[in-house]
Chain A
């Protein structure tokens, strides 16, 4: 292959690579009509999350829980001794309860979204890092619109790979919604700018969320004293950024169901414009 062809392929066949040719503006025309002012009514008024595929990357989800409903799919991810991924149908449900809680919160906000579970926990502590990477990579490959990730890793050796996966997801229109750590430690992937990072506020309104002008945490969602689904058809109360994250994921699912053409950059912008401390009360 000649150098010219390599460049040509890099842009999916168009020339020049990574640039816009003189007469090519039509190729990048966006279909969405933007209103003069983005309001919550424009962003998600009447939306239910229908046709939006949301993945819960966590401890598994209890299928059929009254607050979760039907799952569209569930897999368990593990790795072999060489860290090669193994993806199998998951019939074990939720090993902890955390994933079911997150799924229930997304469902409560976006009742008609399609929920998928990718379980990355339950295979012992020592393999948890490689399993997390394999699970996230799998989720991005599946092309889920949203991936709720209410967990992170403190292992620096995974940071670069996670960064690549997060960027790849962003460019493929698969939005990662990731919980910030509750403690002042370095962890990933929530710190990357290609994800929506979420911390907690203490208000009771599930639709109240705030933009944070002091990153790396970008948004605050409801995360204290939240009634959540729990295995065994139960309900418990839970607190932490883990539970703020699916609130933002649910709201993002509503926006995507009404505006499926939005790319991650635009999604973040709509979230910003509709945040309670920006234009959200309008």
Chain B
């Protein structure tokens, strides 16, 4: 058994975890949407590294592929994204359809073959968490080093969101594995937190009363 203080702390952590994955996921999608808009690109995506399987997973997508690619996986050392991940180095390529192998891989994976792409590693401290890709900037705008800076800024933002998402996922796993009682508390806390005004106040009073009764 945990002490009362530890229990409250864990319940508070649990309350923060439940539902947070969805919130962070929304943030990631938002980042891809802004990246796509700023660069005038056809699509933008964030790929998360799943270290347990050594795979990259499409975690958030804006534009082409948004409806059916999220969740798709491929080996972490495959293609451009794999190189960027392994070397932790950004890559900006145009005319990539000249590489028949690349075109085939992309077409098989996404049904869409881009002309050009920018891919940047998502670095958090010394860890690499995934890759941000931006497909098909307008061809008339020559790539500049300023765009590289901008891409890096998006990558930093995405890396923070990805780190939060990853932590939330790990916390959920802990809560759900052998901590059933905490999961109940977490759901309860999250439900009350989502209520508005009077209903929330009533919910909090109810919980206080419940705590008094259970504590007797």
Residue ranges of A at the interface with B (Cβ–Cβ < 8 Å): 59, 95-98, 121-126, 128, 150-156, 179, 181-187, 200, 202, 224-225, 230-232, 234-242
Contacts and interface: CB of A to CB of B under 8 A. Distances in A.
Contacts of A97: 80, 83, 99, 102
Interface stretch (B5-13, B87-95, B180-188): B87-95
A182 B95 contact: no
B143 A125 contact: no
Contact of B93 (A125, A151, A187, A237): A237
A236 B98 contact: yes
A241 to B, nearest CB: 8
Given A98-B83, A231-B101, A234-B98, A155 B144 contact: no
A235 B95 contact: yes
Contacts of B86: 121, 125, 128
Residue from the set B76, B100, B143, B145 with the largest chain A CB neighbour count within 10 Å: B145
B154 to A, nearest CB: 11
Contact of A125 (B85, B90, B99): B85
Contact of B123 (A179, A185, A234, A239): A185
A96 B120 CA distance: 15
Given A225-B143, A232-B99, A152 B148 contact: no
B75 interface: yes
Nearest to B147: A239
B123 A125 contact: no
Contact of A234 (B79, B83, B99, B152): B99
A126 B91 contact: no
Contacts of A155: 126
A242 B126 contact: no
Contact of B83 (A59, A183, A200, A236): A59
Interface string B48-63: 0101001000000000
Contact of B89 (A124, A225, A240): A240
Nearest to B76: A125
B100 A238 contact: no
A234 B87 CA distance: 23
Contacts of A184: 152
A237 B144 CA distance: 13
B152 A151 contact: no
Contacts of B76: 124-126
B178 to A, nearest CB: 28
B56 to A, nearest CB: 8
Contacts of A239: 92-93, 143, 148
A238 B93 contact: yes
Contacts of B206: none
B145 A96 contact: no
A232 B101 contact: yes
24 contacts: A95-B82, A121-B82, A124-B76, A125-B82, A125-B85, A126-B51, A126-B54, A152-B87, A152-B89, A154-B128, A156-B126, A181-B89, A182-B89, A182-B90, A183-B120, A183-B121, A185-B88, A230-B98, A232-B99, A232-B100, A234-B98, A234-B99, A236-B94, A242-B89
A212 to B, nearest CB: 14
Given A224-B145, A242-B91, A123 B77 contact: yes
B181 to A, nearest CB: 36
Contacts of B158: none
Contact of A236 (B75, B93, B156): B93
